[in-house]
Structure 1
Amino acid sequence: MPGSRAEIFDPAVEEIQDFYKLMTGSVVPRPIAWVSSKSGDGVLNLAPFSFFTVASRQPPTLAISIGPGVKEREGTVKDTLTNIQERGEFVINIVSLELGEEMKTSAGNAAPDVDEFREAGVTPHLSESIDIPMVQEAPISFECVLDQVIPVGTDHLVLGRAQRAHVEREAYAGHYRIDIDQLKPLARLAGDYAGLTQRFFL
């Protein structure tokens, strides 16, 4: 019988973290949105989120899901979400393999008054349409304005309408296409990261 050898898990009886591990280990690879934002006091924030995708083609809209704080900040609202809700603007930077260590540094639980651009060792670069800087070293960046925040259980789905897209010349293949080999995107697996090693076409 099909599926007879499958393990079956019921989220109603499993521990939350255990079922979460099943989901994040199954939905792979996931792209990483390296989100830059700014607090009401002007402190720059930078944090990666791997619950990230395109939400709409028109208007061009990107989606990230932001969970609650973890470890020493468990139960709190993440600074990224607070900043986006306060200012209504943010930048989604795409992470390349070369930026893996910097991205990992920015994933730490820094205090709200810490400039995470400085902590990660990357350069803030002025955006064209919004007051939030992009990561100068990132191969692609999308300037976004907040469309809406949708509570989903313990998390928040953030929809941002793209105002500008910045693509490094080396990663641009012309005719609105991205050169994936030059982009070298970094992806999230369960607890690890990976690059693209092989492609095939159907």
Structure 2
Amino acid sequence: MQFNPSQLAAKDVYKLLTGAVVPRPIAWVSTISEEGELNLAPYSFFTVASRQPPLLCISIGEGTDEREGTVKDTLVNIRSQKEFVINVVSSELGNQMQKTAENSASHVNEFEEAQLTPIPSDLVKPMRVKEAPIQMECRLEKIIPLGTDHLVIGQMIRYHIQDQYYLGNYKVNLEKLSALGRYAGNYSVSTEFFTLPK
């Protein structure tokens, strides 16, 4: 079986890609609007873009369903404020993360809707998710339009980790973290680790 992307609907190519590029970590992105309204939304197109300087990137698509063709609040806020926070989602926070994925009006505070605790960041205006095991404060480096999406690249300028997830020597306890990942339309947690011969 083979497919020619140029002959398929975008949603079908998307399904093929998200079924092959797995697992994808989730960036739980918190931003703030010009008016001071808090926003929190998950994105599974997320990775490290550079080690030095430490750059993270997320891809933000158009609004979906009743907001189709619109720009997502996350992108609007990042363009405006040039700052954001990427919070890491542990499996225990899955239901609350899913709540923040709902299409909501711009004035809706997703922290309140999902019963999460916003706490101040050290260097940026957007709030962090207190319950998230790891939070990374980012300053916007660049936004690159790619087709219908936008690749947002930010420099990580402050890294927060809760003590129980830190092993020392700059290592994260991955088994305890139990980070949520995306497999096509489903979510999963990988806590089985093994090494391969060098």
TM-score category by the smaller chain?
over 0.9
Opposite residue 187 of structure 2, the aligned amino acid is Y
Aligned counterpart, 2:118: 124
Aligned counterpart, 1:173: 167
Aligned counterpart, 1:59: 53
SS of the equivalent of 1:12 reads helix
SS of the equivalent of 2:6 reads coil
Task: Write the distance in 2 (CA, Å) between the matches of 1:119 and 1:145.
Answer: 26
Residue 197 of structure 1: CA displacement?
3.8
Task: Write the distance in 2 (CA, Å) between the matches of 1:123 and 1:23.
Answer: 34
Task: Write the distance in 1 (CA, Å) between the matches of 2:5 and 2:20.
Answer: 15
Q: How does 1:1-202 map to 2 (within 5 A)?
A: 7-202=1-196
Task: Write the distance in 1 (CA, Å) between the matches of 2:108 and 2:34.
Answer: 13
Report % sequence identity. Answer: 55
Residue 136 of structure 1: CA displacement?
0.2
Is the contact made by 2:53 and 2:155 (CA closer than 8 Å) also made in structure 1? Answer: yes
RMSD value, Cα: 0.6
TM-score (norm 1): 0.96
Task: Write the distance in 2 (CA, Å) between the matches of 1:19 and 1:163.
Answer: 35
Task: Write the distance in 1 (CA, Å) between the matches of 2:27 and 2:106.
Answer: 20
1:162-190 CA distance string (max 9 Å, x none)? 11000111110100000001111000110
Residue 120 of structure 1: CA displacement?
1.0
Tell me which stretches of 4 or more aligned residues in structure 1 moved more than 6 Å: none
SS of the equivalent of 1:117 reads helix
Task: Write the distance in 1 (CA, Å) between the matches of 2:193 and 2:48.
Answer: 21
> What are the ranges of 5 or more consecutive residues in structure 1 without an aligned counterpart?
1-6
Task: Write the distance in 1 (CA, Å) between the matches of 2:178 and 2:15.
Answer: 26
SS of the equivalent of 1:113 reads coil
Task: Write the distance in 2 (CA, Å) between the matches of 1:180 and 1:198.
Answer: 10
Aligned counterpart, 1:3: none
TM-score (norm 2): 0.98
Residue 40 of structure 1: CA displacement?
1.0
1:93-126 CA distance string (max 9 Å, x none)? 0000000000000000000010111011100011
Number of aligned residue pairs: give it.
196
Residue 37 of structure 1: CA displacement?
0.2
> What are the ranges of 5 or more consecutive residues in structure 2 without an aligned counterpart?
none
Task: Write the distance in 2 (CA, Å) between the matches of 1:128 and 1:41.
Answer: 20
